[in-house]
Amino acid sequence: MTINEAQLTVDKWIKDIGLRYFNELTNMVLLTEEVGELARIIARIYGEQSFKESDKNKDLGEEMADVLFVLICLANQTGVDLTEALQKSLVKKTKRDKERHRNNIKLRK
């Protein structure tokens, strides 16, 4: 699925199943909540925290997909073409970071 197809799929799902988008502020709060849930699982898998019973059945991919879903909702609501935005971001990062990362001795470990 391309990013564009994902945006269209989420839009169709919202209209068919969700009835309508939550407003942008609500979706921003939901995005923050979903990122927090993802961070919690990452902290338990890769960090030093132990799993709580309620976290043991959480799936990392599912948590990432929840973040992506809400991000796509926000993009759809605000008229952002994520494919175009990502392409612009990659160009910007390439210009800005190409030599910086190559010259960073910390990244050569």
Across 56-80, average pLDDT: 96
Domains, the chain, with CATH or none: 3-83 (1.10.287.1080)
**Confidence category of residue 78, pLDDT binned at 50, 70, 90:** very high
Angstrom distances, CA of residue 56 to CA of 6, 42, 44, 81:
29, 12, 9, 36
- Of residues 59, 2, 64, 66, the one with CA closest to residue 30: 66
Quick: pLDDT tens for 10-67: 999 999 999 999 999 999 999 999 999 999 999 999 999 888 888 888 999 999 999 9
Six-digit token pair at 82? 């994520």
Separation of alpha carbons 49 and 52, rounded Å: 9
